[in-house]
A and B are shown apart, each in its own frame.
Chain A
Amino acid sequence: GESVGLHLPTLSVQEGDNSIINCAYSNSASDYFIWYKQESGKGPQFIIDIRSNMDKRQGQRVTVLLNKTVKHLSLQIAATQPGDSAVYFCAENSGSSYKLIFGSGTRLLVRP
């Protein structure tokens, strides 16, 4: 069946360090992947996306890597800040579907 999951439920990092959040997906037909950040009491906030014809995409302090061979997605956050503390979700979508399939999320805690 379809699933998007995360390897680590909680990640604790020191302020200023780099963070890496991982995600595995099982639907080989998925061709669009998104990372969302969700702070307590708020809706998911778009961070960055990547399509299956790319391996890497960079934004401001964030980089998403896609490895289609092993169906793995990662989000790298450079120089992690206290404001980065939140739950991060990866989501996937296939061209034949309109829905996003979310994983269960990884909580990122930034230590001062």
Chain B
Amino acid sequence: DAGVTQSPTHLIKTRGQQVTLRCSPKSGHDTVSWYQQALGQGPQFIFQYYEEEERQRGNFPDRFSGHQFPNYSSELNVNALLLGDSALYLCASTAGTDTQYFGPGTRLTVL
């Protein structure tokens, strides 16, 4: 067990709604990254948070936003949900440039 936790496990929303996903990093880790994994594909990098700032962003629209709290936990927010946002959302934590360890993910279904 990598120690990264995510909530909720599953979520069902309708188009146009907004969603917030949560992540607690592994103990000792201060950096959180978010990835989107469509069915049958590899994870795609959304963004990374360090020291409560977005440090790097992948090729995702502004509808995707995030936040990191002083305790290093993080939230991913997605506004104006589209059917194509249905995916497994993964959180990964790390310390410095060490290996990224992933949580179990949140399965988001948009109807």
Contact = CB atoms under 8 A, between A and B. Distances in A.
Interface residues of A, number: 23
Nearest to B9: A41
A104 B45 CA distance: 13
Nearest to A48: B99
Interface stretch (B13-21, B61-69, B70-78, B101-109): B101-109
B44 A102 contact: yes
B102 A36 contact: yes
Contacts of B101: 46
A79 to B, nearest CB: 24
Interface in A94-112: 95, 97-105
Contacts of A44: 43, 90, 102
B56 interface: yes
B104 A100 contact: no
A104 B41 contact: yes
A13 to B, nearest CB: 21
A100 B100 contact: yes
B2 A45 contact: yes
- State the 5 A-B residue pairs at the shortest beta-carbon distance, nearest first: A102-B42, A99-B45, A43-B102, A98-B56, A44-B102
